[in-house]
Amino acid sequence: MADLKVLDRLFHFILKRMVDTGQAPHYTEIASGMGMPLEEARGLLRELFAAGVPGWLFPGTDYITSFAPFNNLPTQYRITIEGQQKWFGQ
């Protein structure tokens, strides 16, 4: 099991990226942004979701589909902040 501080950093990285861009990062972006090898980033991503983070990966992939309160796929729940609509809710 990964160090909880590392999982916390990963959680923050993903949430910040979704707020900033409106898109969930791919594990290759996580690896680059957190300064770690690709396979370590992919393993940590899986561990984070296995720990019960409210969200999920697209079935059979390592693509973040949902990361509360955001959804990476379009839904009927559009989130608008300061006139920008670049997010979808769960």
pLDDT, tens digit, 9 for 90 and up, residues 8-63: 999 999 999 999 999 999 999 999 999 999 999 999 999 999 999 999 999 999 99
Q: Is 1's pLDDT higher than 70?
A: no
CATH class, range 4-89: mainly alpha
pLDDT, tens digit, 9 for 90 and up, residues 76-86: 999 988 888 88
The ranges assigned to domains in the chain are: 4-89
SS3 (DSSP) at 88: strand
Q: Is 2's pLDDT higher than 80?
A: no
On the 0-12 / 13-18 / 19+ scale of CB atoms within 10 A, 80 is exposed
Name the pTM for this structure.
0.91
* Confidence (pLDDT) at 55: 93
